[in-house]
Homo-oligomer: A and B are copies of this chain.
Amino acid sequence: MVQMRRLKPASRASNKAPRLTQAERTAISDGRMLEAAMALVLERGTHNTTLREVGELAGYSRGLASNRFGSKDELFAELIDVFNERWKKESSALVGSKTGLEAFDAANESIIDFMNDNSDYIRAMFILYYETVGSSTVMRERLAEQHGAYRRAIARYISQGIAEQTIKRTVDPTRVALQYTSFFFGLVYQWLANPDAIEFESALHDFRDAMIQVIGETDMAVRRSA
């Protein structure tokens, strides 16, 4: 059970006036509520989280979450957007200007890094991802859009790898991309259901190696360099 202590509400009565703009104020309360929502989703899933709890855990009233986000669905959509933003930033920081196989490996490692540092974050994110799949068409379309983006990103790395002759030219990038994303989503799914049973990092490395063994140019079928 999450301790329902109310966080101090935005310290408005501070001695030196913080001098905030309106946008900054709402950003603070929104942030607090999103954080609270994440904690609650982690603990009980979206289903058993109420907007009342979100508002109160964030240090506000019963109704604020409703008032700001309009609906539960929109709150969670917002959460997913925040997650995606942060993920994209993390990933592109590690991939940088790399291309092809190198970029692919960097992306792979960025997932592992992100996972190690923010496993709760990731957990909540994917709970949202998976629960959304049975929702309204609107939500599902956004999800499909995201999935497509992942697949395209991977496919691009593979194409580059072919151009750079680190990957066999007989390989179909979109098929490989689908294999990779499928493996990844499925791995996370099983990890969510039973974290103890899944060795996340080594599973990803194993899969990467197996994949390169199939799609890499023969002299490339080596262990990734640490």
Contact = CB atoms under 8 A, between A and B. Distances in A.
A159 interface: no
A45 B143 contact: no
Contacts of A214: 210, 213-214
A135 B194 contact: no
Interface residues of A, number: 43
A130 B184 CA distance: 15
Nearest to A172: B206
A175 interface: yes
A134, A144, A183 pick with most chain B CB within 10 angstroms:
A134
Nearest to A45: B134
6 contacts: A48-B136, A127-B133, A143-B194, A144-B194, A147-B193, A179-B206
Interface of A: 41, 44-48, 127-128, 130-131, 133-136, 140, 143-144, 147-148, 175, 178-179, 181-187, 189-190, 192-194, 197-198, 203, 206-207, 210-211, 213-214
